[in-house]
Amino acid sequence: MVLAELGNKLRSTLSKLHSTVIIDEDLLKQTLNEISRALIESDVNIKIVSTMKKNILLKVKLSEENPGVNRRRLIQKAVTDELISILEPEDKEPYKMKKGQSNVVMFVGLQGAGKTTTIAKVAGHYQRKGWKVAMVCCDSFRAGAFDQLKQNATKLRVPFYGSYTEGDPLKIAEEGVKQFKKEKYEVILIDTSGRHHQNAELFEEMQEISGIVRPDNTVFVMDATQGQAVYDQAMGFREAVDVGSVIVTKLDGHAKGGGALSAVSATQSPIIFLGVGEHFDDLEPFNARSFVSKLLGFGDVRGLMENIKEIQGDKKDQDAMMKK
């Protein structure tokens, strides 16, 4: 489980509610202080933690509740809802891929965030679901970027576009997307250049590529190992391009991944996947409610139901399978 240490601390704190006879304002404040400490130790932004604490205290007024109200459940629900609100923007739904037409997705992020590997994982994810997928390498800045994408594409048996001789990323982007659209590819994934630091040149190149290919979705790839530094990165990318979704990488076993999770609030865009390993299938589709539910030890009924639906397929698939 991602952020296992944080999950253990939160579960331990909430479990004390069940072993305590009297649930009063003092216990509520003590519980919130312990939860806040656990979140800050996991690198969640201190301002976000402070806001969350205030919101819970506004929602849960034990002195005003009727004697018959289950106070434990009330506190538990308030904590769950506030954790979900940190990870889920209120008014922005993730882009939904449309079957039977070209969906152009541009990936942006700093060098070292795992952008090229993430693109391969996303390509594999949609390929397994039966989509027609292709990749375009516009990263002419990093030596070996095209070789890495080519190697990943070959392993996945996914077509790719790039060049050893053409140094203009705008031309590569335009020609690659044009070719794959003509060949009716449904998911066209574009790898852009990264830099070790945010600078005007990086943002200018991203904006120009975006202007040429007009992506349906721009995905910001953020590195969980960067902790709270990711917040400023997220703000910079959001101001430069229209970030539509977020993928958090390198969350596997990293105790301070909360910094990246809280940085999502800076992009005001939903997380769509979590990168939890180095292999192509180490990519978890993200749902805030399911994530928080697992984090707090409540299980993930929603995720289970979605997996069952995915295994079963739709009615047409079942009928076709029966016929075969």
Q: What was the pLDDT predicted at 199?
A: 83
Domain coordinates of the chain in residue numbers? 103-286
**Confidence band (pLDDT; 50, 70, 90) for 267?**
confident
Q: How far apart are alpha carbons 165 and 204 in whole angstroms?
A: 22
**Is 55's pLDDT higher than 90?**
yes
- HSE at residue 58, side-chain half, CA atoms within 13 A, is 7
Q: What was the pLDDT predicted at 141?
A: 86
Higher pLDDT, 28 or 64: 28
**Confidence band (pLDDT; 50, 70, 90) for 229?**
confident
Contact 234, 266 (CB under 8 A): yes
Token pair, residue 164, equals 């050893």
User: What does the radius of gyration of the chain's CA atoms come to, in whole angstroms?
Assistant: 22
pLDDT digits (tens, 9 = 90+) for 150-178: 999 999 999 999 998 888 999 999 999 99
- What number of residues does the chain have? 324
Average pLDDT, the chain: 87
Q: What was the pLDDT predicted at 255?
A: 57
pLDDT digits (tens, 9 = 90+) for 187-228: 999 999 988 888 888 899 999 999 999 999 999 999 988 888
- Average of per-residue pLDDT across 250-279: 83
Q: What are the start-end ranges of the E strands in the chain?
A: 103-108, 133-137, 160-161, 187-191, 217-223, 245-249, 271-275, 283-285
Q: What was the pLDDT predicted at 165?
A: 87
Least-confidence region, from 29-43, 64-78, 224-238: 64-78
Higher pLDDT, 64 or 51: 51
In the chain, what percentage of residues exceed pLDDT 70?
Answer: 89
pLDDT digits (tens, 9 = 90+) for 122-135: 999 999 999 999 99
Helix, coil or strand: residue 160: strand
- As beta bridge partners, residue 135 has 160, 189
Longest CA–CA separation in the chain, Å = 75
- HSE at residue 293, side-chain half, CA atoms within 13 A, is 12
pLDDT digits (tens, 9 = 90+) for 90-143: 777 889 999 999 999 999 999 889 999 999 999 999 999 999 999 999 998 888
Residue with tokens 């923007």: 89
Write out the DSSP string of 50-113. HHHHHHHHHH--GGGS-TTS-HHHHHHHHHHHHHHHHHS-TT-PPPPP-TTS-EEEEEE--TTS
The end-to-end CA distance of the chain, in Å, is 39
Q: How far apart are alpha carbons 193 and 228 in whole angstroms?
A: 23
**Is 23's pLDDT higher than 90?**
no
- CATH number of the 103-286 domain: 3.40.50.300
Q: How far apart are alpha carbons 152 and 84 in whole angstroms?
A: 34
Least-confidence region, from 71-75, 282-286, 297-301: 297-301
pLDDT digits (tens, 9 = 90+) for 285-321: 999 999 999 889 886 555 444 445 554 555 555 566 5
